[in-house]
Amino acid sequence: MNNREIAKQFDLLANLMELHDENPFKIRSYNSAYNVLRKWESPLSTMDHKDIEAIPGIGKSNLEKIIELLSTGQIKILKKYKDITPLGVIELLNIRGLGPKKIRTIWQQLDITSPGDLLYACNENRLIEASGFGTKSQEDIRIKLEYYLASQGFIQLGYILDDANDLLTAIRNRYPNDLFDWVGDLGKKMQIVHGLDVLCTNSDFLKDTELKIETEEETGLLKFKGQTLSSIIVPKDAFGKELVRLTSSQLFFEALGENTQNIVVESDRSFFQILGKTFVPAEVREDVKYAQLANENKSLNLIEEKDVKGVIHSHSTYSDGINTIASMAQACIDRGYEYLVITDHSQSAGYAGGLKIDRLEQQWEEIDKLNSKFSNFKIIKGIESDILGNGDLDYPQNVLEQFEIIIASIHSGMSMTEEKATERLINAIKNPYTHILGHPTGRLLLGRPGYPINHLKIIEACAEYNVAIELNANPQRLDLDYQWIKLATDSGVKIAINPDAHSTGQIDYIRFGIIAARKGGLTAEFCLNRLSREELLGMKKK
């Protein structure tokens, strides 16, 4: 059981206890454990018990529950609350905007015990009969319920890719004389995956009782991470052609020419080589323009991880990050980066420990001391400034002008019309101190849709005011969506592939941003992180 799964158990325990109106002190303790453990890097399963107890927010009581969970797979007190709570009520905790108190109200007053029941009540205009709910909140909950129910059975690429590749490696090792590869959503590296499709020359692995993979939901291969695993069987000599076909759009594959039908190869690279065409990676085989480039034997020049020279958008213990600035810097140095932009939250972000001016000055002093020790690395003084309701940034001018890089993002007041959201963002883009527009729609994949914006107007404004747009690489965001990258770069707007790292391990989220950026056709030329630290700092004077 990994740290994220352990943290989820504490989160569920806190929510169920609050749902049953239990001891608030204990609830706060479990919430604290959840917030720490979900970001903790070292695997709890390999740590000494004394070291776990010493983690801030854990202590003896929570340590006992972690030991119990690791040894038995459950926490007794959590089981007690699960046993007295309908499964559908527990599922309601997954709906954004529905906390335990609200769920308790609709459960007790309306006898609603599932998401389906709640949606039916909203559609019949009955939710407003419960205390604290009105027409507006009923409509808001209805929209969120529909989004939640429509998202069931899907999973974010970032939360399955590594495990899926480990599974593929295990299968290949067990059946070395056969060929296996992912096709479908996973093969195309789609942001959201629904079902796992394996192209193979032997489907016996699905019946293999010795090949077992521990998953979040069950043990076995027919279900993996909650996803149905299915196989597509082909002869070995057709494997390469079918691998390309099943990771391509129909238009892309047809554009490669009629002679593709007679090609006998065992890999996708060999397929393109036999055709005498440039190799096109699976993530861009949806777009017919890449087939045309391949036909002309032109290089694609897509962004690669090695092109990224520095880390932009990171958080430290000064706001809601789990690691110190020194630790974040060392993690970047260990990965070969030239710089780290520290962008903790601004003062209005009380929910995330936003920095008041005195804390900013303390942080800058620490950064100066750390930088004095480096010869080939630099920590850059940045901020993720909240975009206020009218589009202003979150500090007065005399403070804003002291930052070296400013990311402007919306974190609150997200229930907006397209007109309002677009106006608010453009006002922030016009601000002479804004360098990067952060996660422009605020979406959380499978969690909440983004607020509506006019992408064309936003991109035009960024081009006019020399503002880059972030592709937030957190696998829950991947915002700006890859489909808008070409329009941005055609307009001369650079894309910043930012991990939004709240811990040293999350720096590696850049990898998922690279995948999304490549799907959008981003080249190194238009990647902001490709700049050296001197070039990046030149942005301060826009």
In DSSP notation, 122-149 reads: HHTT-GGGSTT--HHHHHHHHHHHHHHH
**The domain boundary residue, chosen from 100, 134, 150:** 150
Q: Can you tell me the mean pLDDT for 113-137?
A: 88
Model confidence at 351: pLDDT above 60: yes
**pLDDT tens digit sequence for 268-306:** 999 999 999 999 999 999 999 999 999 999 989 999 999
Domain check: are 73 and 113 in the same one?
yes
Domain check: are 133 and 157 in the same one?
no
**Chain-wide mean pLDDT for the chain?**
92
Q: Residue 289 falls within a domain, yes or no?
A: yes
Q: Give 524's pLDDT tier (boundaries 50, 70, 90).
A: very high
Q: What is the tally of structural domains in the chain?
A: 4
Helices then strands, counting H and E runs in the chain, come out as 23, 13
**The domain boundary residue, chosen from 257, 274, 298:** 298
Q: Residue 78 falls within a domain, yes or no?
A: yes
Give the Cα-Cα-Cα angle 361, 315, 533 (nearest 5 degrees).
Answer: 80
Domain check: are 310 and 343 in the same one?
yes
Q: Residue 239 falls within a domain, yes or no?
A: no
Model confidence at 213: pLDDT above 60: no
Domain check: are 314 and 288 in the same one?
no
We report the CATH number of the domain holding residue 454 as 3.20.20.140
Q: Residue 500 falls within a domain, yes or no?
A: yes
**pLDDT tens digit sequence for 59-86:** 899 999 999 999 998 999 999 999 999 9
**pLDDT tens digit sequence for 143-200:** 889 888 888 889 999 989 998 999 899 999 999 999 999 999 999 999 999 989 999 9
Domain check: are 350 and 218 in the same one?
no
Residues 6+ apart with CB under 8 A from 98: 92, 141, 144
Pairing of strands 405-409, 378-386: parallel
Percentage of the chain surpassing pLDDT 90? 76
Which of 17, 18, 11, 55 lies closest to 34, judged by CA?
A: 11
Domain check: are 40 and 135 in the same one?
yes
Q: Residue 398 falls within a domain, yes or no?
A: yes
In what order do the strands lie in the sheet containing 227-233? 180-183, 196-200, 227-233, 223-224
pTM as predicted: 0.85
Q: So what's the pLDDT on residue 215? A: 47
- Say how far apart CA 254 and CA 248 lie, in whole Å: 10
Percentage of the chain surpassing pLDDT 70? 97
- DSSP state, 335? T
**Which residue do the tokens 């490549």 mark?**
518
Domain check: are 322 and 228 in the same one?
no
Q: Give 480's pLDDT tier (boundaries 50, 70, 90).
A: very high
Domain check: are 259 and 191 in the same one?
no
Q: Can you tell me the mean pLDDT for 310-337?
A: 95
Q: Residue 240 falls within a domain, yes or no?
A: no
Model confidence at 426: pLDDT above 50: yes
Domain check: are 353 and 439 in the same one?
yes
Backbone angles phi, psi at 323, to 5 degrees: -115, 155
Domain check: are 471 and 419 in the same one?
yes
User: 112 or 220: whose pLDDT is higher?
Assistant: 112
Domain check: are 108 and 212 in the same one?
no
We report the CATH number of the domain holding residue 80 as 1.10.150.110
Q: Residue 79 falls within a domain, yes or no?
A: yes
Pairing of strands 223-224, 227-233: antiparallel
Domain check: are 185 and 313 in the same one?
no
Q: Can you tell me the mean pLDDT for 341-361?
A: 94
Q: Which DSSP string corresponds to 161-228?
A: HHHHHHHHHHHHHHSTTS-EEEEHHHHTT-SEE-SEEEEES--GGGG-SS---B-SS-BSSSEETTEE
- DSSP state, 528? G
**E strand or H helix at 326, and its extent?**
helix 325-334
Domain that holds residue 263: 247-298
How far, CA to CA in Å, does 169 sit from each of 120, 175, 179, 267?
45, 10, 11, 16
Q: Give 337's pLDDT tier (boundaries 50, 70, 90).
A: very high
**The domain boundary residue, chosen from 233, 259, 278:** 233
Query: Which residues, in sequence order, are bridge partners of residue 527?
Result: 495
Q: So what's the pLDDT on residue 263? A: 86
**pLDDT tens digit sequence for 311-323:** 999 999 999 888 9
Model confidence at 210: pLDDT above 80: no
Q: Residue 238 falls within a domain, yes or no?
A: no
We report the CATH number of the domain holding residue 226 as 3.30.460
Which of 194, 196, 217 lies closest to 206, judged by CA?
A: 196
Q: So what's the pLDDT on residue 219? A: 45
